Structure 1
Amino acid sequence: MNRDQLYSLAPTDRAFREMSGDQKKQVVAAFALEVLKEIRNEGREPDAWESVHLMHALGALHGERLTYALTLIELAIEDPADRAPEAVARIQKELASAETLERAFRDAQARSAPGT
């Protein structure tokens, strides 16, 4: 996974603050979808760490906690060597598939599109 390339897709804090609510929702959903696309391009499903952080990001997106959602997506792509071992061990075993997450983020993106 090209984490540097994915991190570069996230807007700066200043740029994100200056966006409208709908723009922020679009950016968050698009960022998550790019992460999922990269995972799929690797021919795999999200691992436990990625899945949990993306599921929580989806919840934050729907709860309009958009900065938090963006942070959770950034955490999802954290290098496995940098992940907190205690947290990894506690992560739930019921994971969402890439397909389920993609569908949910696309739905969230469609709901935040202007005119919807």
Structure 2
Amino acid sequence: MQLQTFILALAAFTIGQTNAACGCKLKSSTSTVAADAAATSDTSATSSNSDSDNGNISPNGLCGPDQDRARTVYTCLGSQFGDCCSRYGFCGSTDAYCGSGCLGGYGRCS
């Protein structure tokens, strides 16, 4: 977020310098540009933070949020690897997966 603020400030400064040099007027204000950038940057961070999407059964034994680095949430319920999601993000069916630290939002826990 700080980098975006810096870039917007730099862009506003550069636009201001350009306008002073040529006498041009901007069609939109820099505050509108900043508001638009802030609105779009925050939506990507929260696009897939829900507990479990029932349609996303783990295809590879990984479970939990962001396991495939594409912001996909996988559940173990119904997977071929087991119905429990371990604290480390792997599907299985033994106490190591279903016991202490099990991620209940992504599978069954005992």
* TM-score for both structures, normalised by structure 1: 0.27
* TM-score for both structures, normalised by structure 2: 0.29
Question: Highest CA radius of gyration, 1 or 2?
Answer: 2
Judging by fraction of residues, say which structure has more helix: 1
